[in-house]
Structure 1
Amino acid sequence: MNPKETIASSSKAANRGSSRHKQQQQHRGHQRPAAAQREQQRGEAGEPQQAKSRKRKAPQQQPRKQQQQQQQQQQQQQQQQQQQLQQQQQLQQQQQPLQQQQQQQQ
């Protein structure tokens, strides 16, 4: 390879890189103002909306909490009932052989 050829090929590569870079810069340039506008709009519109939504959400949280508590209570009751059933079944299983023994003895 002649030094001239390497210089020529490297300059081509450099040009390619710079053209790519230019394209990216252009795209970025277009995206930035749009994104900035969106952020501004969000900022302007978002602030009062947040204030409104906070006021609205506060009373809704109480019934949700009540619902959660009720659900928890129901679950606890169901668990207790299941436990009672299991205990009854265990007792019956324990009593069955006793009853059988008593019957055999009689």
Structure 2
Amino acid sequence: MAFITVEIDDEVLEKVAAYAAARGTAPEGLLKAHLEHLALIPPAVRTDLDEARRKIRELAETSPLDVGPITWTRESLYDRDEQRDERRRAEESKSILELRPSADRQT
């Protein structure tokens, strides 16, 4: 088994160590797993992946799409889902009541 030495910025190492610790390993373990994964990818596939990544970056950088300012929050999106669900339940209840004969309806 071979050993390698890598020089890395202290701040980067701190962040990687925290990331690794949260996953029950060490930075060395992450690096080893990543290198082993890279070694399993055939060169032709790796080249295709690199080209796809390059094209995606190029599209992202040159896209004229402008979505404008973000005016929503994560919380508002969840609130909207809850409001939609409440409206749906109310509509279903109303539909069920409309199907009942008028004598069975309770006021």
| TM-based fold match above 0.5 | no
Q: Which has the higher contact order (CA 8 A, sep 6+)?
A: 2
Q: Is the radius of gyration larger for structure 1 or structure 2?
A: 1
TM-score by length of 1: 0.31
TM-score by length of 2: 0.30
